[in-house]
Amino acid sequence: MNKEMEDYIIEKYQKDEKLMVLIFAQWCINHELNPMELYQLAYPSQPNNQALEEAIELTVPKNESDEISDETVLSVLQIFGNDDLAFVVQQEIEKRRN
């Protein structure tokens, strides 16, 4: 694989990852949850996540946001291997349903 192709793949992955983080953050806002708190529950030993902090700044109020389904946020998290965070999100979904 040539260098240009590698750079393109890395750049595409990083953009997609930022979108995943934004979807998670907006889903949290839409359900009146704190994205940082959920992240810390999933990854207690990790320092603050810069990408999450940036995504939170890009979120809009719940009443201005499009609906993000529970299935969408779970799928996106799992695609990027954020299984611990997907587990925490699933717990919040179950709390809401009960």
pLDDT in tens, the chain (98 residues): 788 888 888 888 888 889 999 999 999 999 999 999 999 999 999 887 899 999 999 999 999 999 999 999 999 999 999 999 999 999 999 999 98
The number of C-alpha atoms within 13 Å of 23 and in the hemisphere containing its C-beta is 22
Q: How far is CA 89 from CA 1, 3, 31, 54, 97, in A?
A: 37, 37, 11, 20, 12
CB 79, CB 20: distance < 8 Å: yes
Q: What is the pTM of this model?
A: 0.89
pLDDT of residue 85: 96
